[in-house]
Structure 1
Amino acid sequence: MVRELMAALERAESDAAVRVVVLTGAGEKVFCAGGDLGTMAGDEGFLATHEGRRAYGRLLVRFQELRKPTVARVNGHALAGGLGLVLACDLAVAVDTADLGTPEIDVGLFPMMMMALLQRHLGRKRALELVLTGDRLPAREALTLGLLNRVVPAAELDGAVSTLAGKLAGKSQAVLALGRRAFFTAEDLPLPAALEYLSSQLSLNVLADDAGEGISAFLEKRPPKWHDR
C-alpha cells in the first residue's frame, strides 16, 4: 500500500489538473487500520522488512513535501498507521462513527513512526495517554483535540469534503505551495529563527504574480483571477 500511495502522490504532483489531493479508505467502516500484522515477522528478511517500514516514514514526509494541499476523507476508523495518514494530511473530515487511536500497545508493539506526527498535534500528556493505553478516541473527541477539522454524519461526508476541497482549489496554487512549505519549515524552528525565515518567505510571497493580482482584485472589488505563479 505504501508504494501505491507514494506513486499516487507523485502522479498528483505532476498533474496540473489536480489542485487538491483527497485521501480516503476503500470501504465504509474503516479508513485504514494500519499495517498487516501477519507480515510483522518479516519473512523477506530483516533488512528488507526494515526498509519497508522506513518507506512508511518517507510516505508521511512526502505528504508534507507535496506542493498541493491534502484532505483526509475519514470514512471510518483510523487506527495505528492509518491515524498517521490522517495526521499527515493538511486537513481531515471524518464521519461521526469513526474512532481514531493507536492500539499497537495491545499487541506488544508501539506506534513508533506515526508518534512523531502525534507529538506535533497533541500536548505531551494527551499524546502519551493515547500511545501508552491504546485507547480509541471517538471522532467528536478527536475533533475537540484538534486531530480533525470537521465531523459529520456519513450522509454528509462527501458534501463536507467537496466544500473544503473546493475552497482550497479556488486559491492560488503557487501561494498555497509557498505557504505550506513555510508552515512546516517554521514549525520546527526556534522562534527567532522562525521569524527570520518567515520574513524572507513573505518577501518572496509579495513578488508572486498572484500576490499582485490578489491585491489588485481586492482594491478593485472583484474576484481574483489566479495565474498560479
Structure 2
Amino acid sequence: MPDLLYQVKENIGYITINREANRNSISSEAVTLFLEALETAEKDDNVRVVCVSGAGEKIFCSGADLGGGIGNASGNAGGQENLAFKNYARLITRLAKFPKPTLAKINGHCMAGGTGFMLACDIVIAKDDAKFGTPEVNVGLFPMIIGALIFRNVLRKKAMEMILLGEKLTAKEALDMGMITRAVPRDQFEVEVEKVLKIIASKSPIGMRIGKEAFQGIETMDLETSVNFLSEKLIEVASTQDAMEGITAFFEKRRPEFTGK
C-alpha cells in the first residue's frame, strides 16, 4: 500500500497519510505523494476543497519517521536526509499557500511535523480527546521548519512554552491557543467534518481562490497598501459570473449554482 492515499468525492479531495502501523509518521514517499496529490487537486476543477487526515482513528500524524524516513536517529544528516527536510519544507509551503480551501481532519494525536500539516490548513477540526505538541526538544531536536507556521498562528510566549517544555497539550488547550478551530466529541466528529466540507464545497470556487490569494498577498503589506490591494481584488471577484449568480440568487431567494467562472 502507498504511504499516502488520494481520492475525490462530491467536490472534496481527500488526502490521507496511510502509515497507520507507523503512527502515520512522515516518510519521504508520503511527502512526494502529498505534493503530487496537491498538484492534482489544484488542477482538477471538480475539487473545491481539500481534506487532510491520517489513516485509522488514533493518530493524525506523529511527525518525521525517525527510523529511516525524513529523520534518521543516527544523528548524521546526509545528503538524502537534507533533501528530505527540504522537500518537507516545500510541502508545508505548498499547503499553506494552496489556492483552494483546506481542512485538517485531526482524527487522533498530532505531534511534531504533523503540526506543520495542521497549521498549514485553513480550518482544523479535531477530536476532543486528541493530543498535540512539539516534542522535538525531548530528543535533542527543535521544531525548526514548522516554527514558521507556529508563530503565524500562536502567540509567541504560548508557542515557546509548548516548544521548550515538549509536553502534550489537550484539544482544549490547542483550541485556546488558536492551533485548531473546533474540538468535537468523538461520536460527532465524522458528521461535523463532512458538514463543514460540504458547506465549503458549495461556495464559489473562483471567489474563494481570489479571496485566499488576496489575504495571502497582504501579509507583508502596510495598511494603506493592503487596503488598496484588497479594493482591486474586490473589483476582480465582483466581476465574476459566480458573484453575479450569487447576488441574483439572493434576490430570487434560491440557492446559487456556482460554476467557478
TM (norm. structure 2) is 0.83
Question: 1-side partners of 2:140 and 2:173: how far apart?
Answer: 26
Aligned to 2:145: 113
Within the alignment, does 1:21 sit opposite 2:53 as a pair?
A: no
Deviations 1:89-133 (A, max 9, x none): 111111111111111001000000101000000111111111111
Aligned to 1:189: 221
* Aligned partner of 1:142 among 169, 174, 183: 174
Letter in 1 for 2:33: E
Question: 2-side partners of 1:189 and 1:78: how far apart?
Answer: 32
* Aligned partner of 1:81 among 93, 105, 113: 113
Question: Contact conserved, 1:93 with 1:148, CA < 8 A, in 2?
Answer: yes
SS at match of 2:46: coil
Aligned to 1:53: 85
Aligned to 1:219: 251
Question: 1-side partners of 2:199 and 2:72: how far apart?
Answer: 44
Aligned to 1:31: 60
Question: 1-side partners of 2:109 and 2:36: how far apart?
Answer: 24
SS at match of 2:145: coil
- 1:38 offset after TM fit, Å? 2.5
Deviations 1:40-87 (A, max 9, x none): 348897233212101111111111332321111101111000011011
Moved more, 88-97 or 128-137: 128-137
- 1:23 offset after TM fit, Å? 0.8
Aligned to 1:199: 231
Question: Contact conserved, 1:76 with 1:99, CA < 8 A, in 2?
Answer: yes
Aligned to 1:68: 100
Quote the sequence identity (%): 41
Long gaps (5+) in structure 2: 1-29
Aligned to 2:260: 228
Aligned to 1:172: 204
- 1:141 offset after TM fit, Å? 1.5
* Aligned partner of 1:162 among 194, 199, 219: 194
Moved more, 147-156 or 118-127: 147-156
TM (norm. structure 1) is 0.94
Letter in 1 for 2:260: D
SS at match of 2:169: strand
Aligned to 2:15: none
Question: Contact conserved, 1:64 with 1:184, CA < 8 A, in 2?
Answer: no
Letter in 2 for 1:9: L
Aligned to 1:153: 185
Question: 2-side partners of 1:189 and 1:42: how far apart?
Answer: 41
SS at match of 2:57: coil
Q: What value does the CA root-mean-square deviation take over the aligned residues?
A: 1.7
Question: 2-side partners of 1:68 and 1:219: how far apart?
Answer: 27
Query: Which runs of at least 4 in structure 1 moved beyond 6 Å after TM superposition?
Result: 42-45
Letter in 2 for 1:25: G
Letter in 1 for 2:257: K
Within the alignment, does 1:127 sit opposite 2:159 as a pair?
A: yes
Within the alignment, does 1:104 sit opposite 2:136 as a pair?
A: yes
Aligned to 1:7: 36
